[in-house]
Amino acid sequence: MAVNRMSRLEVLIGTWNTTGEVLETENAPSTKLIATDIYRWLPGKHFVVHDADARFGVQVARSMEVIGYDPATKKHFAQSYDDQGKAELFDVALRGKNWTIIGESARFNGKFDARNNKLTGLWELKGKNAGWQPWIRLKLARA
């Protein structure tokens, strides 16, 4: 029987209350982030759909991503789409309690707590002048 490489991502499934401290970058001032993140399986459990409804200060941002596994590269990936028309492909990995997301313009490194009910980490944004910059200190708590 084939191994479903997606089963390890069960830890993500559910609704998360997300808060964050958005740090000043070369492109934007600091603010607060409040969001709801929902992760759900597509039927068959070969893909996870992630819907995000966020507020960066007063600015609304909505996005959807699909997380899957590519047997050719033996890597998990996430294809993200947002309400501004931007799409980005990320490499994602869950190693133990560590969750990483790596894209061309943004990357995240976070860690789940012992009970898998909290995820904390840091998003970094690739700047045009300053290279990788700390962007969002993030906390997700299972609802």
Looking at residues 138-142, what average pLDDT do you find? Answer: 98
Please, which pLDDT band fits residue 114 given cuts at 50, 70 and 90?
Answer: very high
Pair type for strands 106-112 and 98-102: antiparallel
CA–CA gap between residue 27 and residue 48 (Å, rounded): 31
Q: Which residue has the higher pLDDT, 25 or 101?
A: 101
Cα angle at 138 between 134 and 139, to 5 degrees? 160
pLDDT at 130: 73
What is the domain count for the chain? 1
Q: Does residue 1 sit within a domain? A: no
> How confident is the model over 26-75, as pLDDT tens digits?
778 999 999 999 999 999 999 999 999 999 999 999 999 999 999 999 99
97: containing domain: 7-138
131 lies in some domain: yes
In percent, how much of the chain has pLDDT > 90? 90
pLDDT of residue 28: 84
Instruction: Give the global pTM.
Output: 0.93
Reading the block at residue 90, the tokens are 């990320």
Indicate which CATH number applies to the domain containing 74. 2.40.128.20
